[in-house]
Amino acid sequence: MKYDISAATLIDYPNIDRIQSNAFATPWSKELIRSAILNGKYDVRVMKVEHKPVAGFYIAHATNGRSNLDNLAVDLHLRGMGMGRKLLEDWIERACLQKTAKLSLQVNTKNKGAQRLYQCFTFKKVRLLSGYYPNGDDAYQMEMPIKQQQVTAKARQA
């Protein structure tokens, strides 16, 4: 399937909101997504495929040589087709270009599917964040140092 990943614009934000509202028990507010698109410190990237305005997206931000994945979701009807993997590859490739030393993310301890995806990319659980989400759910902090250029290649083989 042909796809393209590019910077989100305000045209995309209702679709991002729809996808993440279907994905999370505690989604971001519409206003927060809108602000992230407008704020140059956030990297909001959307995946577009034929016939779908937005198939998936991620939001990341960089501070002190570290890039954190703040949000990632794929349209409910398009999961299991490799799109989450492509979005993660895009994030990692961009972080490598920006000379980022470490990648980090937080994932719900109950979200085994996403944990498996991150493990394919060699992310490791480094700590438990108790009550991290507004509904009281716990998260794992997962991290990966960027030393090797073959990160993406390794994930492709997984």
Q: Does 46 bind ligand COA (CB under 6 A)?
A: no
User: Site for ligand COA (CB under 6 A): which residue of 116, 127, 154, 156?
Assistant: 116
User: Site for ligand COA (CB under 6 A): which residue of 14, 34, 82, 93?
Assistant: 82
14 vs 82 by CB, closer to ligand COA: 82
- 56 forms beta bridges with 47, 74
Q: Does 111 bind ligand COA (CB under 6 A)?
A: yes
Contacts with ligand COA: how many residues (CB under 6 A)?
18
Q: How far is the CB of 47 from ligand COA (least distance, A)?
A: 9
Between CA 67 and CA 23 the distance in angstroms is 22
Task: Show the CA angle centred on residue 155, arms to residues 25 and 127, nearest 5°.
Answer: 50
Kindly give, in sequence order, each residue whose CB lies less than 8 Å from that of residue 75, ignoring residues fewer than 6 positions away: 19, 22, 52, 54, 55, 56
Between CA 66 and CA 64 the distance in angstroms is 6
User: Site for ligand COA (CB under 6 A): which residue of 33, 107, 146, 151?
Assistant: 107
Q: How far is the CB of 111 from ligand COA (least distance, A)?
A: 5
